[in-house]
Structures are given as C-alpha cells and as structure tokens.
C-alpha cells in the first residue's frame, strides 16, 4: 500500500490550510493512505459485517501502551473494535496522532473474501 511520509503530510497540511478558503475546507480532504484492516478475524468485524458499508466513518484510537506494537492504532466502527492499521503501515499515522493532527478514517471497500486481510479496505485522511 502507498504511505505518505509524515513530513510530507505536515507540509501538505500547512499549504492546504493556508491556501484553501475556510468554507471549502469541510468538503475537501487529503488521503494519507489506504490499507487492509489487520486483525479483522480476532475482533468484532464478523458480528458487525452486515451493518457496515463503504463510506462509513471509522474511529482511530492510538494505543501507546500496546505491548506488541508501540505504534499501534486501533480501528473502531460505532464503538466496536474491528482491528488495527497494519504494523508495517502505522508509524506515520501514529506519529501524526501523537502530534495532534486531525487524522480520520473511513471504509473504502468491503469484500466477502476468505482471507481476512482482504475483507476491509480503509483509508486514512485529513479534512482540509
């Protein structure tokens, strides 16, 4: 998956916020990355599958005390834990969250695949 380095995200945010009219900001966003959901098979995803749809907002929860991954970012849907941003793709998002950047996430695609790594594709983005 494509991941934009955090320094590039910071520069893009600064430029975009400085040059975008205030009224247009809520309608535009920068997509930071698209990733498959990690850990879908271990959490509430199966029970919530029929309720989720592409475009649904996801909640990103930074887990600084996670014993397995210092950069862990948990993903929730309507209060249900679905999984995590994959370890190999979470460092920049974790860093931005630690700095207070307003990163958000949403479901891009749902696929009825046997492989749990192919079931949920999500994107992380920043509103302008």
Q: Which domain holds residue 42?
A: 6-127
In a domain, 80, yes or no: yes
CA gap 90, 33 in Å, rounded: 10
* CATH number for the domain harbouring residue 12: 3.30.70.2330
Any domain includes 1:
no
CB 122 within 8 A of CB 108: yes
The predicted model scores a pTM of 0.78
Say if 99 falls within a structural domain. Answer: yes
Q: Give the pLDDT confidence of 37-90 residue by residue, as tens digits.
A: 999 999 998 899 999 999 999 999 999 999 999 999 999 999 999 999 999 999
Bigger pLDDT: 34 or 25? 34
Structure tokens at 52: 């989720």
């Amino acid at each position: 998956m494509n991941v934009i380095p955090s320094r590039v995200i910071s520069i893009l945010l600064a430029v975009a916020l400085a040059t975008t009219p205030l009224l247009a900001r809520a309608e535009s966003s920068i997509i930071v990355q698209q990733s498959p959901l990690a850990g879908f098979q271990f959490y509430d995803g199966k029970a919530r599958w029929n309720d989720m749809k592409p475009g649904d907002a996801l909640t990103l929860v930074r887990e600084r005390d996670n014993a397995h991954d210092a950069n862990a970012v948990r993903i929730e849907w309507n209060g249900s834990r679905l999984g995590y941003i994959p370890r190999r793709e979470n460092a920049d998002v974790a860093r931005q969250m630690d700095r207070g950047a307003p990163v958000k996430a949403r479901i891009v695609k749902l696929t009825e695949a046997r492989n749990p790594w192919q079931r949920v594709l999500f994107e992380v983005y920043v509103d302008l």
